[in-house]
């Protein structure tokens, strides 16, 4: 209880300092009074007694100070005093505060924005209960190569045999379905999970419950929080009601809690159905008896007390047992246990990418800190006199140091706050980037508590870092000189000052950043110029999935034909076609091919498969080189196909392919034409072999898993056309949900995600760095001019011309800039080497970048030196010599 | 300097104050005078160290202060030992005894 009393008393005396001081004074007076009485009793006269008593007791102020320092509140009080003093001082230098807060704000914003990505993709624990005991399993192949998903029978084997886990659940990660009925139905992405999924993940539900043990294949559904809010108004009454899922009645049993988007960090599923209902919802669901199709994610919860090593050993035993029992399918395959949020092969790449970004962001902060240190140094130099006076009056070095450091930490915290505001805006901007994938994804990033904590720590560290050197020098003035107003830092004749070193470091680092920005901008430019081989503008696209309405294949073919013809006749539409997938959407469908009479190609790449309706090549503007076009082929005739030139090169050694029959995935196709190459998966890829097959002939045998897209090449207003296209589709069947509505321009923007993302980031970083370096150079030059006013005055009095003085100042500044460029260029070249894998069509030692950027930097430095040099040239010798 | 007054051994002031107050409640000067008299003038306690010590001890709950009239008709703060103070005195005296014995053993060895 002692500390409580101490706290109460301390707070009381802080709250009413005057009362406490009066009490101390009164007690001291009584002490002295009694002492005087005692001394007079001993025979002294009043005067002597008073004198002696006061001499013994010391001054009231000292005693007061000592009593105060006995309690904890004095430390707080001193700190508060320092704080208010700092604030008062800083309020007199608004320009300094503004520059420093802006500098640190930029640096911190870069870091907290990057860290918000780290927080989302690396640090945030998976959204399940007790994540440490919840693990993912993967299937290895070729004796240890990672990672594949699981065939359903292997899942069942593991679930039955493994004793290390209390729960083993599985899910299939991307199930499309139209939810709702009539014209209101919308296509959503969800997941199909085993009945124990919610129990194993220990998920809290926003409403209702997860699946029950008996609901292995019951028509029940758990809604995602966003879907629940958007479509059902967040009404808890929806539990127990029936909703239409792709034409089937499903009973809503629960709503997942807010923010739960499945166990994958990128996908954005909005409903969950039992795995057993999958065949009803998806055309051609994977065969649950096949030991070959690898499609299920397995997650498992360790039993209490079982370690991951023990569980791994058990999985090895199970894998061996399975390999013996099913040698044809399971031999050479293993089962490995990984962290729940393990990203497989992509993980190392993602971590490297984030690490590189963090380093770049720290670089920006380093530039900002150098800048601030510089500003504080010159600010501190102006305070040498004040410091000397305070030292002379008895302040200790430590006290001064503490005070100045407090000031820089205050500034850095204000900068941190500005940085958080900036990064709120930046993360909002970043979240608008979308992955070019047909499934629903969520890569939005947010400023969460981890980011705030990191930002706070970084701000304090930045404050200490950029405050320490200026604080050290300022708290140690050469007292005798400083009292007269001389600055210890402005010793004439000293060439290499701390301030110049800081400026050089700053400018060369910003050169590195700017070269990065230049490279990525050039890369974006060349990526945008890459010839994708098809028309990249003036096409409107939208998708439907008739299978969600349980259409038979013949009806799907008929529906697509009707919709295409109606749309082709709309005013403004030049041509229209149908397909099963838009190029440049990441991966699409592909298969290995065999051409009778020709050896298999060296690089056994699979062939990209696209379905094409009538006018496909005309609409996409892909030139046909030989043969005929695909039309409304007869579904029962032999399958016709058109291949691209790369296919001919790779599989037919350049021979005329027309008339050949090629086989892919066990299906023979007769080649009827050849077209020019196009990019298939990504913009930066090497040319891939592509085979286009007639849509009408393949919907029945190989239906698309994520619907069919209708594309229209148009002239005029896209918005009006898109509305008209939707109306035409609904005229065929009003129940069809239309999704993925976009123009080709929008799609191309998404396809350029990586180069756009990287170049945006680097441009922002680079420009911030340049801005900071400029401020640094400018402040150093103008400070040096103000320090040398007297010297310049003497020079001019002795006959130097204004232009000569100006040239002298500019030369001094440009020397710093040139040294920075010389030091920065090799650094920038070395850093550029690391970015090779991120560049499209640009060499890391791109000549244009590495000549233009240094030139730009030098030009901008010239401006930064020229402004202060003007001031130097206007120095009036008469005034300058009268200073002091 | 008429007579040599020694510095108090560090940390012993509070113990001496506790011991002095164990007889009866006293005001600050009374405590200082008493310590000086009993030590035959060897220890002089000035208010610069006595008042902070009293403040600390009051915070710790070892003494309790009360403003009263002195015999010279002045208002002064009288300090009285609390139960906690009594315990502290006992334990500090014991600890001091052990320390002195140990130091003596070392010096005589």
pLDDT tens across A619-660, in order? 999 999 988 988 888 888 899 999 999 999 888 888 888 988
A403 vs chain B: nearest CA distance in angstroms? 26
> Using an 8 Å Cβ cutoff, are A165 and A303 in contact?
yes
Q: Are residues A493 and A575 in the same domain?
A: no
In a domain, A79, yes or no: no
Q: How confident is the model at residue A520 (pLDDT cuts 50, 70, 90)?
A: confident
Cβ–Cβ under 8 Å, residues A177 and A191: no
Beta strands (DSSP E) in A676-752 are: 690-694, 708-714, 738-743
Residues A260, A389, single domain; the answer is no
Report pLDDT digits (tens) over A402-455. 888 888 888 999 999 999 999 998 888 888 777 777 777 777 888 889 999 999
Give dist(CA B109, CA B105) in Å, integer. 6
Chain B residues lying within 8 Å of A72, measured CB to CB:
none
State which residues form the domain around A232.
Answer: 131-340
Q: A583 and A641, same structural domain?
A: yes
CB atoms within 10 A of CB A55: 9
Percent of residues, chain A, with pLDDT higher than 90: 24
Q: Tell me the pLDDT of chain A averaged across its residues.
A: 85
- CB A772 within 8 Å of CB A371: yes
pLDDT at A577: 95
Taking 60 as the threshold, does the pLDDT of residue A706 lie above it? yes
| Mean of pLDDT values over A368-373 | 86
Alpha carbon of residue A519 to chain centroid: 20
Band (A568; pLDDT cuts 50, 70, 90): very high
Q: How confident is the model at residue A489 (pLDDT cuts 50, 70, 90)?
A: very low
Is A745 near chain B, with CB under 8 Å? no
Report the pLDDT averaged over residues B56-74.
85
Q: Taking 60 as the threshold, does the pLDDT of residue B32 lie above it?
A: yes
- Residue-range domains of chain B with CATH: 13-108 (1.10.10.10)
Strands A248-256 and A205-208: antiparallel
Contact A193, A169 (CB under 8 A): yes
Task: Nearest chain B residue to A8 by CA: give it.
Answer: B59
Domain boundary among A294, A318, A340: A340
From the list A340, A357, A209, the residue with the least C-alpha distance to A264 is: A340
* Residue A118, in any domain of the structure: no
Q: Which residue of A has its CA nearest to B28?
A: A31
SS3 per-residue string spanning A615-652: CHHHHHCCCEEEECCCCCCCCCCCCEEEEEHHHHHHHH
How confident is residue A87, by pLDDT bands cut at 50, 70 and 90?
Answer: confident
Same domain as A801, residue A707: no
The number of folded domains in chain A is: 4
Interatomic CA distance for residues A507 and A528, integer angstroms: 31
Distance of residue B47 Cα from the nearest chain A Cα, in angstroms: 6
Q: Residue A84: inside a domain, yes or no? A: no
**Among candidates B27, B59, B77 on the partner chain, residue whose Cβ is nearest the Cβ of A6:** B59
Question: Are residues A374 and A779 in contact, defined by beta-carbon separation less than 8 angstroms?
Answer: yes
Same domain, A487 and A597: no
Q: For position A194, what pLDDT does the model report?
A: 93
Say whether residue A42 is in contact with chain B using an 8 A CB cutoff.
no
* Res A488: pLDDT: 47
Q: CA-to-CA distance for A857 and A820, rounded, in angstroms?
A: 10
Contact A31 B59 (CB under 8 A): no
Mean pLDDT of A584-593: 80
What DSSP state is assigned to residue A534?
S
Cis peptide before A709 (omega within 30 of 0): no
pLDDT-derived band at B4 (thresholds 50, 70, 90) equals very low
Q: Give DSSP secondary structure letters for A401-432.
A: HHHHHHHHHHHHHHHHHHHHHHHHHHHHHHTT
Q: Whole-model pTM above 0.80? A: no
Q: Would the CB atoms of B74 and A34 count as touching at under 8 Å?
A: yes
Query: Nearest 5 degrees, angle CA A310-CA A313-CA A319?
Result: 140
Chain A residues touching B55 at Cβ < 8 A: 67, 70-71
Q: Taking 90 as the threshold, does the pLDDT of residue A709 lie above it?
A: yes
Prediction ipTM score? 0.83
- Judge if A429 and A299 occupy the same domain: no
A11-15, A78-82, A640-644, B1-5, range with the lowest pLDDT = B1-5
Q: Give the three-class secondary structure for A543.
A: strand
pLDDT at A478: 63
Best probe of the B interface among A39, A64, A66, by most B CBs < 10 A, is A66
- Comparing CB atoms, the residue among B50, B51, B70 nearest residue A34 is B70
Q: How many CA atoms lie within 13 A of A844 on its CB side?
A: 15
In 3D, which of A398, A465, A400, A356 has the Cα closest to residue A757? A356
Predicted local distance difference test score (pLDDT) of residue A605: 67
Mark A105-136 as b/e (b = at least 16 C-beta within 10 Å). Answer: bbbbbbbbbbbbbbbbbbeeebbbeebebbbb
| B59: nearest CB among A5, A34, A56 | A5
Cβ-Cβ contacts under 8 Å for A846 (sequence gap 6 or more): A518, A519, A522, A832
Give which of A170, A112, A178 is closest to A138, Cα–Cα: A170
* Average confidence (pLDDT) over A676-685: 86
Rounded Cα distance between A462 and B95, Å, is 48
Burial A586-621 (b: 16+ CB within 10 A, else e): eebbbeebebeeeeebeeeeebbbbbbbbbbbbbbb
Averaged pLDDT for residues A183-205: 85
Strands A708-714 and A539-544: antiparallel
Q: Report CB contact under 8 Å: B27, A30.
A: yes
pLDDT band, residue A1 (cuts 50/70/90):
low
A876 within a domain of the structure (yes/no): yes
A572-576, A814-818, A879-883: least confident range: A879-883
Q: Are A788 and A384 in contact (CB under 8 A)?
A: no
Residue B7's pLDDT band (boundaries 50, 70, 90)?
Answer: low
Residue A534 domain-assigned? Answer: no
Tell me which long-range contacts A192-195 makes (C-beta under 8 A, separation of at least 24): A192/A272, A192/A273, A192/A274, A192/A275, A192/A277, A192/A278, A192/A281, A193/A169, A193/A272, A193/A273, A193/A274, A193/A275, A194/A155, A194/A169, A194/A170, A194/A274, A194/A275, A195/A274, A195/A275
Cα separation, A160 vs A164, in Å, equals 11
Q: What share of chain A is helix, strand, coil (3-state, %, to 5)?
A: 55, 15, 30
Residues A352 and A332 in one domain: no
Contact A646, A687 (CB under 8 A): yes
Decide if A868 is inside a domain.
yes
CB atoms within 10 A of CB A430: 20
pLDDT in the model for residue A157: 92
The stretch A864-880 carries a mean pLDDT of: 83
Give pLDDT, residue A585. Answer: 83
| Interacting residues of A262 by C-beta distance below 8 A, sequence separation 6+ | A171, A173, A191, A268, A269
| Residues A604-628, mean pLDDT to the nearest whole number | 89
Give the pLDDT score at A884: 53
Within a domain: residue A493?
Answer: yes
Structure confidence at residue A623 (pLDDT): 93
**A37, pLDDT greater than 70:** yes
Q: How far apart are the first and last CA of chain B?
A: 35
Q: What span, in angstroms and rounded, lies between the C-alpha atoms of A860 and A772?
A: 12
pLDDT digits (tens, 9 = 90+) for A244-292: 888 888 999 999 988 888 888 788 899 999 999 888 887 667 788 888 8
* Calpha distance A271→A274 (Å, rounded): 10
Q: Pick the more confident residue, A147 or A650.
A: A650
Scanning A333-345, the segments in alpha helix (DSSP H) are none
Q: What is the mean pLDDT of chain B?
A: 84
* Backbone phi, psi, residue A788, to 5°: -100, 15
C-alpha distance from B20 to closest chain A C-alpha (Å): 16
Most confident by average pLDDT, A12-16, A180-184, A264-268, A672-676? A672-676
The phi, psi pair for A255, rounded to 5°, reads -130, 125
C-alpha span between A76 and A91 (Å, rounded): 22
Structural domain ending residue among the three candidates A736, A765, A781 = A736
- Looking at the fold, whether A774 and A865 belong to one and the same domain comes out as yes
Residue A35 CB burial class (10 angstroms; 0-12, 13-18, ≥19): buried
Q: Specify whether A679 is located in the same domain as A804.
A: no
In the prediction, which pLDDT does A601 show?
Answer: 76
Least confident of A19-33, A52-66, A561-575: A52-66
Separation in Å, CA of B101 to nearest CA in chain A: 31
Q: How far is Cα A639 from Cα A634, in angstroms, rounded to an integer?
A: 9
Share of chain A above pLDDT 70, in %: 96
Chain A partners of B59 at a C-beta cutoff of 8 Å? 2, 5-6, 9-10, 70-71
Reply yes or no on whether the pLDDT at A493 is more than 50.
no
pLDDT in tens, A334-356: 898 888 877 766 777 788 888 88
Burial per residue of A202-217, b for 16 or more beta-carbon CB atoms within 10 angstroms, e otherwise: ebebbbbebbeeebee
Q: Which residues of B make CB contacts under 8 Å with A? A: 27-30, 32-33, 44, 46-53, 55-56, 58-61, 70, 72, 74-77
Reply yes or no on whether the pLDDT at A755 is more than 50: yes
Q: What distance in Å separates the CA atoms of residue A327 and residue A304, rounded to the nearest whole number?
A: 34
A727 in the same domain as A767: no
Per-residue pLDDT for A722 more than 70? Answer: yes
The last residue of a domain, from among A340, A360, A389: A340
Mean pLDDT in residue range B45-61: 85
Q: Tokens 């479509």 identify what position? A: A231
If asked whether residues A220 and A308 sit together in one domain, one would say yes
Whether residues B32 and A5 touch (CB distance < 8 A) is answered with no
CA distance B98 to chain A (A): 27
Strand partners, A691: A609, A643
Query: Which residue has tokens 């699409």?
Result: A588
The pLDDT confidence band at residue A484, using thresholds 50, 70 and 90, is low
Cα(A397)–Cα(A472) distance, integer angstroms: 9
**Residue of chain A minimizing CA distance to B69:** A30
Query: Both A732 and A758 in a single domain?
Result: no
For A665, phi then psi, to 5°, come to 60, 30
Highest averaged pLDDT of the listed ranges A269-273, A357-361, A476-480: A269-273
**A668: phi then psi, degrees, rounded to nearest 5:** -85, 140
Contact A498, A469 (CB under 8 A): yes
Judge contact between A881 and A790, C-beta under 8 A: yes
- The pLDDT value recorded for residue A19 is 82
Q: What is the 3-state secondary structure (H, E, C) of A835-853?
A: CHHHCCCCCCCCHHHHHHH
Residue A552 lies inside a defined structural domain of this protein? yes
Q: Which residue of A has its CA nearest to B74?
A: A30
């Amino acid at each position: 209880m002692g500390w409580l009393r101490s706290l109460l008393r301390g707070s009381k005396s802080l709250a009413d300092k005057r009362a406490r001081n009066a009490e101390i004074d009164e007690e001291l007076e009584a002490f002295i009074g009694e002492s005087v009485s005692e001394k007079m009793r001993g025979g002294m006269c009043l005067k002597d007694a008073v004198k002696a008593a006061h001499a013994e007791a010391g001054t009231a102020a000292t005693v007061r100070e000592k009593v105060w320092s006995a309690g904890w509140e004095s430390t707080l009080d001193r700190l508060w005093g320092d704080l208010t003093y700092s604030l008062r001082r800083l309020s007199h230098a608004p320009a300094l505060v503004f520059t420093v807060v802006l500098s640190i704000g930029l640096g911190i914003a870069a870091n907290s924005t990057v860290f918000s990505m780290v927080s989302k993709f690396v640090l945030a624990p998976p959204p399940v209960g007790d994540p440490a005991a919840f693990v993912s399993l993967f299937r290895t192949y070729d004796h240890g190569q990672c990672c594949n998903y699981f065939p359903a029978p292997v899942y069942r084997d593991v679930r039955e045999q493994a004793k290390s886990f209390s729960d083993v659940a599985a899910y299939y990660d991307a199930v499309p379905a139209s939810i709702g009925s009539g014209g209101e139905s919308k296509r959503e992405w969800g997941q199909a999970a085993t009945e124990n999924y919610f129990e194993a993940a220990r998920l809290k539900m926003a409403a209702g419950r997860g699946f029950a043990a008996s609901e292995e294949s019951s028509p029940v559904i758990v809604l995602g929080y966003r879907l629940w809010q958007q479509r059902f108004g967040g009404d808890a009454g929806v539990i127990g009601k029936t909703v239409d899922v792709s034409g089937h009645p499903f009973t809503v049993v629960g709503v997942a809690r807010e923010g739960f988007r499945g166990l994958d960090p990128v996908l954005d599923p909005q409903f969950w159905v039992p795995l057993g209902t999958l065949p009803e919802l998806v055309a051609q669901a994977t065969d649950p008896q096949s030991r070959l199709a690898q499609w299920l994610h397995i997650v498992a919860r360790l039993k209490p007390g079982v370690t991951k090593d023990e569980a791994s050993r058990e999985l090895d035993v199970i894998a061996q047992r399975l390999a013996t029992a099913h040698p044809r399918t399971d031999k050479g395959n293993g089962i490995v246990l990984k962290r729940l949020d393990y990203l497989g092969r992509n993980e190392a790449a993602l971590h490297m990418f984030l690490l590189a970004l963090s380093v770049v962001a720290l670089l920006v902060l380093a530039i900002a800190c150098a800048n601030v240190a510089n500003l504080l140094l010159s600010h501190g130099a102006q305070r040498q006199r004040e410091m000397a006076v305070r030292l002379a009056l008895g302040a200790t070095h430590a006290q001064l140091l503490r005070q100045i450091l407090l000031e820089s930490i205050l500034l850095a915290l204000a900068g941190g706050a500005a940085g958080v505001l900036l990064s709120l805006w930046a993360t909002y901007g970043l979240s608008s980037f979308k992955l070019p994938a047909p499934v629903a994804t969520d890569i939005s990033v947010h400023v969460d508590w981890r980011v705030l904590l990191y930002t706070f720590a970084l701000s304090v560290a930045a404050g200490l870092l950029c405050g320490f050197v200026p604080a050290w020098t300022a708290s140690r003035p050469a007292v005798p000189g400083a009292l007269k107003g001389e600055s210890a830092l402005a010793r004439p004749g000293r060439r290499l000052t701390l301030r110049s070193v800081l400026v050089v470091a700053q400018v060369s680092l910003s050169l590195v950043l700017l070269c990065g920005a230049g490279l990525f901008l050039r890369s974006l430019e060349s990526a945008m110029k890459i010839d994708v081989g098809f028309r990249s503008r003036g096409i409107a696209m939208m998708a439907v999935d008739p299978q969600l309405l349980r259409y038979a294949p013949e009806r799907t073919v008929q529906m697509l034909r009707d919709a295409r013809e109606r749309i082709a006749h709309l005013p403004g539409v030049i041509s229209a076609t149908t397909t099963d997938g838009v190029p440049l959407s990441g991966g699409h469908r592909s298969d290995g091919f065999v051409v009778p009479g020709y050896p298999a190609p060296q690089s056994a790449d699979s062939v990209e498969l696209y379905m094409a309706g009538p006018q496909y090549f005309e609409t996409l503007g892909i030139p046909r080189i030989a043969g005929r076009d695909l039309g409304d082929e007869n579904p029962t005739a032999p399958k016709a196909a058109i291949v691209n030139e790369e296919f001919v090169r790779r599989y037919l050694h350049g021979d005329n392919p027309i008339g050949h029959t090629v086989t892919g995935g066990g299906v023979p196709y007769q080649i009827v034409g050849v077209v020019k190459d196009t990019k298939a998966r990504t913009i930066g890829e090497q040319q891939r072999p592509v085979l286009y097959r007639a849509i009408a002939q393949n919907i029945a045998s190989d239906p698309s898993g994520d619907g069919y897209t209708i594309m229209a090449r148009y002239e005029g207003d896209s918005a009006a056309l898109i509305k008209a296209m939707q109306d035409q589709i609904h005229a065929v069947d009003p129940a069809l949900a239309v999704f993925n509505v976009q123009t080709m321009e929008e799609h191309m923007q998404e396809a350029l995600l990586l180069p756009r993302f990287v170049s945006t980031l680097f441009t922002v970083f680079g420009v911030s760095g340049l801005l900071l370096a400029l401020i640094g150079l400018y402040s150093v030059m103008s400070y040096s001019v103000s320090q040398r006013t007297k010297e310049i005055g003497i020079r001019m009095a002795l006959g130097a011309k204004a232009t000569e003085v100006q040239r002298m100042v500019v030369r001094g500044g440009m020397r710093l800039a040139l040294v920075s460029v010389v030091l920065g260029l090799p650094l920038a070249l070395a850093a550029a080497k690391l970015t090779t894998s991120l560049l499209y069509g640009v060499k890391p030692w791109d000549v244009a970048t590495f000549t233009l950027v240094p030139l730009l930097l030098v030009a901008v430095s010239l401006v930064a030196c020229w402004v202060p040099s003007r001031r130097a040239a206007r120095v009036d010798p008469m005034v300058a010599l009268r200073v002091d | 300097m008429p007579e040599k007054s020694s510095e108090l051994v560090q940390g012993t002031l509070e113990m001496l104050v506790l011991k002095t107050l164990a007889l009866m409640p006293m005001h600050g000067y009374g405590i200082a005078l008493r310590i000086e008299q009993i030590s035959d003038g060897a220890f002089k306690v000035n208010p610069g160290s006595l008042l902070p010590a009293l403040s600390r001890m009051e915070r710790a709950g070892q003494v309790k202060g009360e403003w009263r009239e002195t015999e010279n008709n002045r208002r002064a703060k009288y300090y009285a030992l609390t139960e906690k103070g009594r315990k502290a005195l006992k334990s500090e005296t014991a600890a001091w005894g052990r320390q002195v014995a140990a130091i003596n053993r070392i010096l005589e060895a």
